[in-house]
Structure 1
Amino acid sequence: MNALSHLKQKVNQLSKLTEEEWIDFSSRWKSMDVKKGDYIIQVGQVERYFYFVHEGMLRAFMINNGMDVSVGFTYDGDFSGAYDSFLEQRPADWSMQATTNTELLRIGYSDLMEMFDRYKSVERWGRLFNAQALIGIARRQVEVRSFSAEERFDRLFEQSPHIFQLVSQKHLASYVGMTPETFSRMRKHRMKKDWQ
């Protein structure tokens, strides 16, 4: 499946676009290839684009008291970017970097806002996407504020086991809030437990 077909599939899961709407909407998305280690945005830059990850993986992170803290990960079939910076058109508080060679589609701020204004179906897709994003943020807040690091590890292992093959232990450890050494011990313990 090519990138635009993949995008169409994801958009249509939330809101069906007519063929005419899809042709106009899809013409606004441009392809972008990012090499492993390259940034799509860094702290202090204004996010001008909203992204769709066709293939590959991106990591959102910030530096807090000298520590690299992973905020989240997006991969095949996810929408991505410094969304708060994009919506407010203000400098980003965190960076986003490719952890693999990544194939993206991107749409500019003014193009997306024009599509929201022009087509009810695109506006509906945006509203439903935003609702999903807010639910995800709320769940992550509860997780960070209420769960122990071990509970966050278990939840990640249960909900996204594939991520353990895609992301370095160091970055996953910072995401769940533990040292890489503790993360490694927990991972070994969990793997051993699952084999029994």
Structure 2
Amino acid sequence: MQSLLDFLRQIHPVPDDELARLLPLCQEVEFGRREFITRAGEVGRYLYFVLEGIQRSYHLRDGKEHTLAFTYPPSLTGIPESVLLRRPSPHFLECITPSRLLRLPYAQFDELLLTSPALERLQRKLTEQVLVGVLQRHTELLAYSMTERFRLFLQRGPHLLNAVPHKHLASYLGMDATNFSKLLNQLVV
């Protein structure tokens, strides 16, 4: 729980008594390699905090997987549009490696936000960070070259090169596996 507290305090300071109301709602869960946390069509009911492992969210269209994001400690994970809007998920959330997470039931968290301005502000700050990240990623995919996207990826997540299948990394970067392999050989010593 300490890693979750440290993570949340970096986002926005929340009094200890308010965090103490949040922590009992969290439950530790484990998932195996290639196990789904959420499948497309399911309604996401939980937000997750990653303690260990790497997860991937992806969209499936015409039999092809399109990787949207990777999550790893310390970060939040889930399918936000499903959890927040309580709608069937358009995406899959799968564990690439065995994973240990803290699970927070969103309905209970939402109720808690009604009585805690400090936690509500924390939730807003978290949502702002996610929105900014999505817009940055969208800009990269639309406006940056393959090489620029690859270099940015190497700055952000070099540890993923040895932990994630390269086909997923290529999909995430919006390129085919052949181009990914060429860039890997050119840019990584």
TM-score range normalised by the length of the shorter chain: over 0.9
Structure-2 residue corresponding to 1:18: 15
Number of corresponding residues: 189
1:135 aligns with 2:150: no
Structure-2 residue corresponding to 1:59: 56
Structure-1 residue corresponding to 2:28: 31
Instruction: Give the structure-1-normalised TM-score.
Output: 0.92
Q: Distance in 1 between matches of 2:9 and 2:112?
A: 15
2:51/2:101 contact within 8 Å kept: yes
Structure-2 residue corresponding to 1:182: 179
C-alpha deviation, 1:146, in angstroms? 1.2
Instruction: Give the structure-2-normalised TM-score.
Output: 0.95
How does 1:33-182 map onto structure 2 within 5 Å?
33-182=30-179
Give the match's secondary structure for 1:162. Answer: helix
C-alpha deviation, 1:153, in angstroms? 1.3
- Percent sequence identity over aligned pairs: 29
Q: Distance in 1 between matches of 2:157 and 2:37?
A: 24
1:15/1:122 contact within 8 Å kept: no
Give the match's secondary structure for 2:42. Answer: coil
Q: Distance in 2 between matches of 1:158 and 1:35?
A: 28
C-alpha deviation, 1:166, in angstroms? 2.2
**Aligned AA for 1:27?**
P
**Aligned AA for 2:13?**
K
Q: Structure 2 unaligned segments of length 5 or more: list them.
A: none
Q: Structure 1 unaligned segments of length 5 or more: list them.
A: none
